[in-house]
Amino acid sequence: MGGVEQRRTSHASPAHRVYREAVILGAAAYAILLQIANPGVGRGVRDHSDFAHRPVDRLRGTMVFVYGVVFGTEEEAERVSRIVRAVHKRVAGPGYSAQDPDLQVWVAATLYACDVHVYELVCGPLSPEDKDEIYRCAAVFATSLGCPPERWPATRADFERYWARMIDSLEVDDTARAVARDLFHPANPFVRALMRIQHLLAAGLLPAHVRDGFGLEWGPARRRRFNRLVAVVRALYPRLPLAVRTLPRDYYLHELRRDAARGGRRRRSLRRRGAPAAQRR
């Protein structure tokens, strides 16, 4: 069964309520660092992607993928997935392949776990039933990358055991640290300012041993800044109009559909920008 067949959810579903929210963009660096802390993903990013030098394009590629497979039509979701799988075929090197189901599951796992973590941090806890529904929907992140459906943990309890085991096993290497240094020091001054916020969020959200492995600054002062930032966002964000909170989703879906109407430029754009795995851009 392909990812598209697994993705159908109501527009009022818990998964849609989570993934429509702009606040999950706060999980961007958090998820990326967890991804590249896996040596196979880290080497693939180093060898086949320049997202560290173009983080806005990397974010765009990831969000087009996420919004396309969660909110797009069957045709849109299949087209985005097909492009990503085609790109993955070219991404391989010593000790890694983007077609490795283990790496596909890990990348998809970060897209699920990190986004839900940030959503709950800001918007409040989800019920177990809602979490189960979101988890079932999140399988599409793995299957759309080409992962066999049976490789995605069958239940949320299975996933939580998988997640804990993977987090415990992560050992940040020099390759991951080099990619992270580039990620947090882009050439564009405006993006560099935004990445300082992402740096703080990642430092506060990452498990301690992963944060330390990347050498992210952390201490009482940084913890207070992180807590203040979360408190302000938690107080203000839910009061924003829904149309504002869903602007990124609406923008990237519009871009996906506009480019499709212009004859497939999104295919070239996704190949250039990459999607949520170690891909060429």
Kindly state whether residue 281 falls inside one of the protein's structural domains. no
Kindly state whether residue 36 falls inside one of the protein's structural domains. yes
Kindly state whether residue 280 falls inside one of the protein's structural domains. no
Q: Domains in the chain: how many in total? A: 1
Kindly state whether residue 279 falls inside one of the protein's structural domains. no
195 residue type, one letter: M
Residue 51: left (phi > 0), alpha (psi -120 to 50), or beta? Answer: alpha
Kindly state whether residue 212 falls inside one of the protein's structural domains. yes
Kindly state whether residue 82 falls inside one of the protein's structural domains. yes
Kindly state whether residue 189 falls inside one of the protein's structural domains. yes
Kindly state whether residue 239 falls inside one of the protein's structural domains. yes
What is the token pair recorded at 163?
Answer: 């997640």
Give the range of the structural domain holding residue 172, as residue numbers without chain letter.
Answer: 3-273
Digit-by-digit pLDDT tens for the chain (281 residues) are 344 444 445 557 999 999 999 999 999 999 999 999 999 999 999 888 776 567 677 778 888 999 999 999 999 999 999 888 888 788 888 888 999 999 999 999 999 999 999 999 999 999 999 999 999 999 999 999 999 999 999 999 999 999 999 999 999 999 999 999 999 988 888 888 999 999 999 999 999 999 999 999 999 999 999 999 999 999 999 999 999 999 999 999 998 998 788 865 545 445 444 556 444 33
